[in-house]
Structure 1
Amino acid sequence: MSRDVSAALTRAHHDEWARVVAGLARRFGDLDLAEDAAAEAFAVAVERWPVDGVPPNPGGWLTTTATRRALDRLRREAKRTTKHEAAHMLVDDTPAEPTGPVVDDRLRLVFTCCHPALSTEARVALTLRLLGGLTVPEIAHAFLVPTTTMAQRITRAKAKIKAAHIPYRVPSQADVAERRDGVLAVLFLIFNEGYLASDGEHAVRADLAAEAIRLARLVRELLPDDGEVAGLLSLMLLTDARRSARVSRDGELVTLADQDRSAWDAAMVEEGIALLSERLAAVAAGDGPPGRYQLLAAVNAVHVSAPSAADTDWGQVVALYDRLVRIDPSPVVRLNRAVALAEVDGPQVALAEVDRLADALAGYHALHVTRAELLRRLGRGPEAREAYDRALALTANPAERAHLERRRGQVVSAHD
């Protein structure tokens, strides 16, 4: 197979998988049939394109081939009593009537995968499988579960969708915002797992982070006027821009303050800032207050805009977190605010804030990391070491463990 054909196949899978699956799912109302027919179409492409050449319209070719495969399967099953309704589709090419504000097949599929009736784990798995085109083993590897477990999770989710007729429940205008929040939460979860893996031998899963950004771009394309969609994409870009400086050559996590800023991806920073600036202009023009993801993107914009860590406008960061706390007073948001507060009012003030969160975040390793760093700055060595130990007990990421072990060792050498 030539490089050109191989590249065309890769590009087609990247660009067309979600479109093909979504179109088939809308027409036939069966996610299993849609997924299998799409996979068969790509398999045929692998066989035919090196011989016949890449078609002028790869997406159209794949859709036509997948539709034929789906129809072939339905014809084989048409004699079964339970398939009479499906067999009727063999001669029914009438486009589906729009039933709500979500009319694009791909966006419809996004909302289906992230339906609130499904567990978070199921939403993530279905999104990566049906929208991202990842294989079941790839998804299982990403989340460190056996392939059989992930396959069962996806199968159960699709069965629940079918039983509840979820594919036909297109969100109404009234609940699009609520359902959208679930979609964005799933994409952010996928991104965070890629940016700093919770477990496994790899500190960073660049493939997962990239997939989350790609899916966010898709949602942005389909909801171009949604501020929170733009905010999430901006947040992902500004965060992922720092990835190459995130882990040292020795495999240790490098904190923001110590990162080589010249290694950041300037193009991603520029795109993220541009998206955020567009949103801030819309807010100033009366497009409503910024939401959670827009405010988080703004915090990251402050960091990436500073020439050095010492030049960071921490007062602005605290002010942004103050706004965020008003709309999302979660313990994690308040913890992040305390980190910034330490740079404005000092570690003692920040530690008091962190200690108020101890019960709510007892099992959250970042709380103990933050306490350890603040105690270290206050010269309270034994307590800092204890906090580092607690953080290490709750951390499986190898790069983060290496960083925490080194920091703990420095406290020992400084105070023992």
Structure 2
Amino acid sequence: MKKNSIVIAGGGSTYTAGIVMLLIENQDKFPLRKLRLYDNNKERQDIVANACEIIIKERAPEIEFTATTDPEEAFTDVDFVMAHIRVGGLKMRELDEKIPLKHGVVGQETCGPGGMAYGMRSIPGVIELIDFMEKYSPDAWMLNYSNPASIVAEATRILRPNSKIINICDMPVAIKKSMADILGLESENDIIERYYGLNHFGWWTALYDKQGNDLMPRLKEHVKQWGYGAKNDGINNPLLAESSWKDTFTKAKDVFAIDPVTLPNTYLKYYLYSDYVVKHSNPERTRANEVMDYREKNVFEECKQIAQDGTAEGTSIEAGEHAEFIVRLAGALSYNTYERMLLIVPNNGAITNVDPNAMVEIPCLVSKVGVEPLSIGTIPQFQKGLIEQQVSVEKLVVQAYLEKSYQKLWQALTLSKTVPSASVAKAILDDLIEVNKDFWPELS
């Protein structure tokens, strides 16, 4: 079995150590010869890299490990770039969330004005990574899970249409994990799905087990009462240990009520119940604060402890569940396993009554030849209307970035289902411009 060389772009992320653990645990399925971390923030990356070096030395010493801030060193001789960058860091995420809330609008990382602000920052960062990859390892694949995935995917479609980049998201995997727990299945991989939509904006139309049994009736009955949460809090999904995620998974019951023919992605609550979200948000303390105070603090302290002790024995760092999705994808591209996976791809007629140039999230077959989207057909008017509105928002954001257009970005915010009026959109935009001067092109 061929051994691969990987660079994780975003080496200083709080998720990186978990991805490294997952890669180590899957050496039988996806063996590595080299593993590199790359980040433009050396101080942050060193915290994670010092721990990862010890973990690899103890658990997979055959893997050559390095961490660097030099693009040539990072991207030379790699088979895969796994990209999860956050341009502006958590401090900018905090502003993405708090500025809209100040105006009575959803403040969320990928949805609404905050997602658009983040997208304007992410576009140049992801394009830079593609260019590094194509310069130093032109045959490599980039598996990109940098947010906001829909805006980034639209930008790469326009700016790098021939690049070997696959845009992915693990949120459907997290929801399917709860589905598996609800149904008593061993793994979310035991569920075969039919799904369509955009990233963080989609619906399941069919779910089967590997024997072909229809799982939708049982799941619908559960979701109708408890969403993707549990009637007795017995669902084994780590996300549900956090109150904000627990609310999101439970709120799916109200999203489901709007269209009980399908099962919804949890993120639809931000668009369909934006008044509820704002009412239950604290404009002084958002999700970004929770991540900084808990996840970031805990992960970095654990990494520092490993470096100080010189051993990872007994570490609390675990293989990241979302990383399994990435390993399956990379394995399919390397070893021709024909995995069936939800990926973000150009529509090109897969959903027949939606813009062919939309970047949609649908089931695809993955092999050595790349990605083959499956046909969805015609979708109902309700979903079509929501999708076309959101596609237009995403396209306007990318046009605003390319044209440095204040007008286009104002139109994008105005069109968003999370924003009540053009005047509110303009007030939010002006505040976002002020704090993003170091990241956005100057708009006119």
Which structure features the higher share of strand residues? 2
Of Structure 1 and Structure 2, the greater helix share is in 1
Instruction: Find the structure with the greater CA-based Rg.
Output: 1
TM (norm. structure 1) is 0.29
